[in-house]
């Protein structure tokens, strides 16, 4: 349940900053990765496709996001923040990035490496047992 406990902090941050979790996650991922497909956003955030699509639509309507078609595969559409969207995301997410940076600095490089490794091990082991349970 430690993974859930950490996510409560992000939920609380969303609430106190007037954001829905799907909007903050879309903005977060596009701020870091710049250009993603809708499917990549779904995969990275583990949010339902409907939530991602709803957030994308809201961001497009606000002028914060643009979509482009992949020239090599017309079925694929890329999401990118507009310059206005980048400014909006920076203003909205600045305090979150600061909190994450302070937390990482307090833990230190070695603990952050351990945390990453343990989180990955936890996730892989959890999925193994979940898959095993489903096959029974």
| Whole-structure pTM value | 0.80
Task: Tell me the average pLDDT of the chain.
Answer: 89
pLDDT given for residue 110 in this prediction: 93
CA 93 to chain centre: 12
Answer for the pair 91, 17: CB distance below 8 angstroms, yes or no.
Answer: no
pLDDT at 4: 47
Q: What is the mean pLDDT of residues 107-128?
A: 86
Q: Is the pLDDT of residue 1 over 50?
A: no
Best CA proximity match to 59, nearest among 67, 49, 68: 67
Q: Which domains can be identified in the chain, with CATH numbers? A: 2-107 (1.10.10.10)
Torsion of CA 45, 46, 47, 49, to 10 degrees: 100
Whether the predicted pLDDT of 2 surpasses 80: no
Rounded CA gap, 85 and 28, in Å?
A: 11
Give the model's confidence band at 84: pLDDT under 50 very low, under 70 low, under 90 confident, else very high: very high
């Amino acid at each position: 349940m430690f993974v859930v406990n950490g996510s409560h902090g992000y939920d609380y941050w969303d609430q106190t900053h007037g954001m829905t979790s799907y909007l903050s996650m879309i903005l977060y991922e596009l701020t870091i990765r710049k250009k993603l497909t809708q499917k990549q956003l779904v995969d990275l955030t583990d949010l339902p496709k409907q939530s991602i699509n709803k957030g994308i639509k809201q961001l497009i309507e606000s002028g914060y996001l643009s979509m482009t078609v992949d020239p090599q595969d017309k079925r694929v559409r890329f999401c990118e923040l507009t310059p206005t969207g980048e400014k909006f995301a920076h203003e909205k997410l600045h305090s979150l990035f600061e909190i994450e940076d302070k937390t990482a600095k307090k833990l230190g490089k070695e603990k952050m490496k351990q945390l990453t490794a343990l989180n990955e091990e936890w996730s892989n082991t959890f999925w193994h047992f979940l898959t095993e349970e489903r096959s029974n």
